[in-house]
């Protein structure tokens, strides 16, 4: 008897749902084992996590607060990943978006007409994210510099630049030494809709839908799907490969920058520590778990947001180490990646017995 992997002839729709669901169950199982080792009752812990993240209005609003940047950065990296541009710099693009948005709010805001302030803050975040992604984008498309390293390292440049600003020149003189800028004027605040959850949430469905329409219904999206599948074939079809990759990367960075703008105008109302919470990295997990499907990303982001908030809850209620939430994220990713094998392949068990040679197959037909 032999077990072989066989490439699937076509991908059944059911598989696309069944595999992630099963992977998630396996990761719950693995998490349960880790929790047992840590001396906690897994069922109690999961229940506590779930109620912490979704059970109360306060918890749920915190889950949404995390879902917004997770979903936006998830969409951002998914767009770049579609073109096999490995943008792992969403974190840095988010931070730079936050910086630019803060700059508008702090220095232009007071002298601008009020209704213009917030849109300009958002636009600045959008543009700055694009700019930050544009650096690896240009390096990659013009000079073939590997984007993985450049995007990764630019994260730290952006994070340290933000630190420099709120510890240094932008530090609030009235802030009692607290590292952070002065608070924004109220015209630069994104309205709150539910607890701390803010109006930035509406960007999620809008961008997810636009993303989907772009890929499935537009000429540009069609070109992007060709480039993503085979840059060489795209070139032979007369598609300007490098230019289109650059454009998509700029857009990817812009969406991440938008997430940063939402963070400062929606949550902190100033530039301060805590802008770089690792959303841009978790976004990579979200994008893969969603199999780069823009319509799945918001829901996966909500789940991830729930795990983050639930993880904090568990820390407080069950006395578990705070790293447990991160451990669980990791444990979700692994079965997910393993599971993606089964959307492409299936397992077949062969019997080892040889068929007897049939007489029929040696008879000529001519």
Partner 1 sequence: MIEKNNSQPLVRMSGISKAFPGVQANDCVDLELHPGEVLALLGENGAGKSTLMNILCGLYRPDAGEIELRGRKVSIEGPKDSQALGIGMVHQNFKLVDSMTVLENIILGMKNQPLVLDMKKVRAEVLQLSKRYNLKVEPDASIWQLSVGEQQRVEILKLLYRKAEILILDEPTAVLTPQESDELAKVIRLMKTEGKSAIFITHKMEEVMNFSDRVMVLRKGRLVAGLSTTSTSPSQLARLMVGRELLFSIDKKPFSPGKTILSLDRVCAKDDRGLDALKEVSLNIRSGEILGIAGVAGNGQKELAEVITGLRKLKSGSLRLDKEDMSQSSPIAMIKAGVAHIPQDRSSAGSVGDLSVASNLAMKEYRKPPLSTGIFIIPQRITSLAKKLIERFKIMTPGPDTHLKFLSGGNIQKTILAREIGACKSLLVAVYPSRGLDIGATESVRRQLVDQRDQGFGVLFVSEDIDELIQVADTIAVLFEGRVMAVMPSKEAAPERLGLLMAGVGA
Q: Which residues sit at the interface with partner 1, rule CB under 8 A?
A: 6-10, 216-222, 225-226, 229-230, 232-233, 235-240, 350, 353-358, 360-366
Minimal distance, residue 225 CB to partner 1, in Å: 7
C-alpha neighbours within 13 Å on the C-beta side of residue 37:
8
Select 193 or 346, whichever has its Cβ closest to partner 1: 346
- Over the range 298-334, which residues count as b (16 or more CB within 10 Å of their CB) and which as e? bbbbbbbbbbbbbbbbbbeebebeeebbebbbebbbe
Minimal distance, residue 339 CB to partner 1, in Å: 19
Minimal distance, residue 281 CB to partner 1, in Å: 27
Select 43 or 236, whichever has its Cβ closest to partner 1: 236
Select 180 or 228, whichever has its Cβ closest to partner 1: 228
Select 153 or 209, whichever has its Cβ closest to partner 1: 209
Quote the tokens at residue 4.
């072989």
Quote the tokens at residue 298.
């918001």
Give how far Cα 145 sits from Cα of 80, 139, 141, 149, 302, Å: 16, 5, 8, 9, 34
User: Closest by alpha carbon to 130, among 238, 220, 252, 235?
Assistant: 252
Distance separating the N- and C-terminal Cα atoms of the chain: 38
Minimal distance, residue 293 CB to partner 1, in Å: 16
Select 169 or 365, whichever has its Cβ closest to partner 1: 365
């Amino acid at each position: 008897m032999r077990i072989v992997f066989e490439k699937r002839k076509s991908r059944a729709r059911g598989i696309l749902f069944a595999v992630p669901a099963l992977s998630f169950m396996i990761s719950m199982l693995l998490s349960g084992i880790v929790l047992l080792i840590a001396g906690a009752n897994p069922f109690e812990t999961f229940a506590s996590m779930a109620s912490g993240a979704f059970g109360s209005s306060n918890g749920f609003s915190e889950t949404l607060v995390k879902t917004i940047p997770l979903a936006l950065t998830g969409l951002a990296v998914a767009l770049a990943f579609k073109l096999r541009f490995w943008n792992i710099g969403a974190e840095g693009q988010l931070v730079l978006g936050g910086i630019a948005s803060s700059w508008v709010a702090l220095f232009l805001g007071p002298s601008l007409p009020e209704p213009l302030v917030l849109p300009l803050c958002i636009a600045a975040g959008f543009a700055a994210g694009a700019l930050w992604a544009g650096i690896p984008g240009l390096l990659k498309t013009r000079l073939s510099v590997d984007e993985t390293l450049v995007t990764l390292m630019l994260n730290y440049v952006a994070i340290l630049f933000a630190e420099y600003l709120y510890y240094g020149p932008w530090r609030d003189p009235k802030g009692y030494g607290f590292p952070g800028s002065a608070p924004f004027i109220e015209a630069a605040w994104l309205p709150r809709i539910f607890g701390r959850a803010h109006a930035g949430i509406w960007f999620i469905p809008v961008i997810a839908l636009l993303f989907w329409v772009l890929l499935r219904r537009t000429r540009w999206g069609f070109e992007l799907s060709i480039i993503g599948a085979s840059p060489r074939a795209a070139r032979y079809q007369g598609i300007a490969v490098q230019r289109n990759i650059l454009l998509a990367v700029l857009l990817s960075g812009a969406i991440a920058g938008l997430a940063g703008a939402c963070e400062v105008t929606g949550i902190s109302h100033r530039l301060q520590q805590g802008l770089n919470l690792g959303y841009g990295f978790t976004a990579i997990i979200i994008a893969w778990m969603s199999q780069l499907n823009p319509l799945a990303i918001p829901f996966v982001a909500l789940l991830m947001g729930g795990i983050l908030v639930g993880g904090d809850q568990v820390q407080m209620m069950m006395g578990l180490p705070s790293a447990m939430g991160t451990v669980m994220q990791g444990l979700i990713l692994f079965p997910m990646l393993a599971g993606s094998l089964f959307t492409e392949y299936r397992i077949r068990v062969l019997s080892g017995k040889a068929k007897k040679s049939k007489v029929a197959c040696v008879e000529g037909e001519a």
